[in-house]
A = this chain, B = another copy of it.
Amino acid sequence: MSPPHTPLPVAVLGATGSVGQRLVALLDGHPWFRLARVMASPASVGQLYGERARWLQTTPLPDDAAALTLESCEVDDPPALVLSALGSDVAGPIEARLARAGALVVSNAASHRLDDDVPLLVPEINGEHIALADIQSQRFGSGRILTNPNCSSIGLSMALAPLHRAFGVERVHVVTLQALSGAGVPGVPAMAALDNVIPHVAGEEDKLLNEPAKILGQLQGHGISPAQLTISAQCTRVSVSDGHTLCVSVGLGQPASAAELRAAWTGFRGPADVAALPSAPPQPVLYLDGDDAPQPRLHRDLSGGMAVTVGQLRPCPLMHWRFVTLSHNTLRGAAGGALLTAELAVARGLVPGFRRPTDS
């Protein structure tokens, strides 16, 4: 029988925003973690979370969270684990400061994603990249920064990873139909979203060009050797609350049949210890056969919003195959992904002194 387990206290950075609220909601009842501290911008410091956060989740604000007092993001005594939902405009120096103060920071922001010593993690794909963080001791001492990819990059990488492992992926053409929640709060004005498509998402295309190569890359010595693939991306915003839909064409390193692609997706699994994490979906990539699958309203919440769905596989007259993939942008693509990464970090022993409940 395992010894009594004390949940690890965690802090959420940027707790009042959209992704921050998702994290607070997901931490409620989490088997390993306990929300202990909430941090936000100076204007919020000193207020009760329950009074300051305009709660926009569909589950009630947990009483314990509501009673927490908002702290500055620049505390000197961070807890061992900090989940950061800060915007990329401010996250960089704040996260670095907390890492120097000894925290393990798991970040949704873009600020450190492409740093040479920072892993860009999708645990099922590249859990082993977490070892890259060891070299951060030069910058941060005992602290670490781990990052979560952009919400579109995660979905794309999850759909590509099984193909890349099996056949190699060399060329990717992707058009995104992104959800409104990705723009944060207040985000897109309703008058710009209703009966409309916004044909551009600022900064998003660059992320799609750069992040998948690092995610799908190989850990070699003290660095990541990026995957050799060329990506063309056009990003649009559509009138969908949650769930990014991506229309993808791929050129593979070696030919493969439709059945082989499906088998690659369906059989894709992360490392065994990742599959056992509390937030891990039982099957990371689901192939759906229906004429109208995948679609955001019906499929974004499968496996608690942590599974990526794929459908519409057909030959592409220009490359090898084309398909449509869907992922929940604020769960798998942000808060849920960060939580999964935090769980992996704990499971791999990056939080000294804390043993997860399954240890015995």
Interface residues of chain A, those whose CB is within 8 Å of chain B, are: 56-60, 171, 173, 175, 177, 180-181, 183, 185-200, 202, 205, 209, 230-232, 234, 236, 238-241, 245, 247, 249, 291-299, 301-302, 311-312, 314, 316-319, 322, 324, 326
Contact of A240 among B181, B197, B316, B317 (CB under 8 A): B197
CB distance from A152 to the nearest CB of B (A): 14
| Residues on B with beta carbons closer than 8 Å to the beta carbon of A171 | 318
| Residues on B with beta carbons closer than 8 Å to the beta carbon of A298 | 56-58, 196
CB distance from A196 to the nearest CB of B (A): 4
Instruction: Report how far A196 CA is from B173 CA in the complex, Å.
Output: 22
Stoichiometry, as copies per complex, reads: 4
A248 — nearest CB in chain B belongs to which residue?
A: B234
Contact of A195 among B188, B240, B319 (CB under 8 A): B240
Instruction: Report how far A232 CA is from B316 CA in the complex, Å.
Output: 6
Instruction: Report how far A238 CA is from B195 CA in the complex, Å.
Output: 9
Q: Are A193 and B194 in contact, with the CB atoms below 8 A?
A: yes
Which 7 pairs between the two chains have the least Cβ-Cβ distance?
A: A190-B193, A175-B175, A186-B189, A196-B297, A199-B324, A188-B190, A232-B318
Instruction: Report how far A295 CA is from B196 CA in the complex, Å.
Output: 6
Q: Are B241 and A199 in contact, with the CB atoms below 8 A?
A: no
Q: Are A239 and B195 in contact, with the CB atoms below 8 A?
A: yes
